[in-house]
Amino acid sequence: AGRLEQVASPQDLHDRPANAFVAGFIGRGVVMEAEVTGVAPGRAQVRLAAGLSLVVRADTARIGPAQVLLRPANLRPDADGRAGRVLSCTYRGGAWEAQIHLHGLGLPVVVDLPDKASPGGHVALTITDGWLLP
């Protein structure tokens, strides 16, 4: 028997998934382990692997272990960003979808690039946002 995980609009399913299963089922992205270090209305300060700290959107948050969803729209190329190595790069009609291993983070992230990147090459990215899974 199946189980209903979340009832919401398509946009909310994508932007505010209720759990890691929904996050992986709808859209592209990666769920990373994190530690919530601060909480404000609608936001949470989190620390990812390698001490990378950022503020992400959150409905509810409490200090302690958590999971953060990073979608391609939450990352952008930035010469001053975190260095990463290109694992793959595929043209997806209007953008190049790249899997990039950011130094210090355990899982590769997916980002849309304006230009082709060569596997094995280096790209620096900034994480602009994310979603704290409830």
Banded pLDDT at 31 (limits 50, 70, 90)? very high
Q: What is the pLDDT of residue 75?
A: 97
What global pTM score does this model have? 0.93
> Could you give the count of Cα atoms lying within 13 Å of 41 in the half-sphere of its Cβ?
0
- Residue 73: pLDDT above 90? yes
- Residue 118: pLDDT above 90? yes
Q: Which helix (H) or strand (E) holds 12?
A: helix 10-15
Give the separation between CA 12 and CA 82, rounded to whole angstroms. 29
Burial degree of 42 (CB within 10 A; 0-12, 13-18, 19+): exposed
Tell me the per-residue pLDDT of 2-25, one tens digit each, with 9 for 90 and over.
899 999 999 999 999 999 999 999
State the average pLDDT over residues 91-112: 94
- Residue 48: pLDDT above 90? yes
State the average pLDDT over residues 16-35: 94
